[in-house]
């Protein structure tokens, strides 16, 4: 009997079951892959130099460049987050939470949409993250909150209101697990723009594209206002993601194995 007008045949039921099993396996593999990526991301940051002098020097170079080009807005923006109490608390929760939660939710959503979009986006995210880690290892840079007392650490100021401690956004007691000299480029900014770009590339309704752009813009304001990043960190974090998407899509066009086929079992492609 035709499966579109009547009860499914035995072959159809079997194919659906196989497809479900394959999807579960693939989902588990993806979760393991992302877990390994995160562990590697965290661990590699610990191998970066903790010598503050060169990191401070890099930070002052960035500040000097911004002043020369007249876009050094860190001072007044940081003062705003300090003076307006609710803004400081909001910024602290935003910085400590959305970077991870929204990225994971976006990955899951994209995975459920289909292999093509997901694989391309995942490759771009991994490439951008690796690029950021290389900068952290080769050119450690201090964030504004650690430079000569010029800026206030807003998360530390509101540590009692959340789960983070005085060491960046790390949970209390885990400060030694984070690299505080990893300001340039900002992966907070980069990952947030990645979310905006996948929404745009996926062709979602216009309102959701605006939400994605607003998310990236809010992240940029928050990470500078809380004293965790320089404006140039944001710009280069965004540029890193754009270049990662550009390189990924260019490679996929030239590759004999397309994103449509990557990682999917034959039964899923046949279905």
Residue 140 lies in a domain: yes
Residue 222 lies in a domain: yes
Residue 3 lies in a domain: no
Give the pLDDT mean for 5-9. Answer: 62
Phi/psi of residue 130, nearest 5 degrees: -60, -40
Phi/psi of residue 68, nearest 5 degrees: -60, -35
Which pLDDT band holds residue 3 (cuts at 50, 70, 90)? Answer: very low
Reported pTM = 0.84
pLDDT at 253 over 70: yes
Residue 49 lies in a domain: yes
Give exposure, 91-121, as e/b (b: 16+ Cβ within 10 Å).
bbbbbbebbeebbeebbeebbeeebbbbbbb
Q: What mean pLDDT value characterizes the chain?
A: 84
Pairwise CA distance, residues 218 & 196, whole Å: 12
Which pLDDT band holds residue 159 (cuts at 50, 70, 90)? Answer: confident
For 36-77, write each residue's pLDDT tens digit.
666 666 666 667 778 999 999 999 999 999 999 999 999 999
Top-confidence residue, 259 or 74: 74
Pairwise CA distance, residues 121 & 5, whole Å: 37
Residue 2 lies in a domain: no
Pairwise CA distance, residues 77 & 113, whole Å: 38
Residue 5 lies in a domain: no
Where would I find the H helices in the chain?
10-46, 52-68, 74-83, 85-113, 115-138, 154-157, 187-202, 206-225, 231-254, 266-270
pLDDT at 263 over 50: no
Work out how many domains the chain is built from and give that number: 1
Q: In the chain, pLDDT over 90 holds for what percent of residues? A: 57
Give the pLDDT mean for 178-184. Answer: 85
Top-confidence residue, 270 or 116: 116
Q: Which domain range does residue 107 map to?
A: 10-270
CB atoms within 10 A of CB 29: 11
């Amino acid at each position: 009997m035709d499966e579109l007008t009547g009860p499914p045949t035995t072959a159809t039921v079997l194919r659906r079951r196989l497809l479900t099993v394959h999807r579960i396996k693939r989902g588990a593999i993806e979760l393991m892959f992302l877990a390994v990526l995160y562990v590697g991301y965290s661990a590699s940051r610990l191998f970066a130099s903790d010598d503050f002098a060169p990191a401070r020097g890099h930070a002052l170079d960035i500040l000097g460049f911004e002043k020369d080009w007249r876009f050094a807005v860190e001072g007044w923006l940081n003062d705003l987050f300090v003076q307006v109490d609710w803004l400081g608390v909001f910024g602290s929760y935003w910085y400590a939470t959305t970077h991870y939660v929204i990225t994971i939710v976006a990955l899951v959503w994209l995975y459920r949409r289909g292999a093509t979009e997901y694989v391309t986006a995942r490759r771009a995210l991994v490439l951008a993250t690796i690029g950021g880690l290389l900068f952290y290892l080769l050119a450690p840079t201090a964030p504004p909150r650690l430079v000569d007392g010029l800026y206030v650490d807003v998360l530390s100021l509101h540590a009692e209101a959340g789960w983070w401690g005085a060491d960046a956004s790390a949970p209390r007691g885990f400060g030694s697990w984070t690299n505080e000299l990893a300001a340039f480029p900002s992966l907070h900014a980069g990952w947030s723009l990645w979310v905006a770009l996948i929404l745009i590339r996926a062709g979602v309704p216009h309102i959701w594209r605006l939400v994605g752009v607003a998310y990236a813009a809010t992240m940029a304001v928050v990470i500078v206002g809380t004293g965790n990043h320089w404006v140039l960190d944001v710009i280069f974090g965004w540029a890193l993601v754009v270049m990662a998407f550009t390189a990924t899509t260019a490679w996929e066009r030239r590759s004999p194995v397309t994103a449509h086929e990557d990682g999917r079992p034959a039964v899923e492609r046949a279905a």
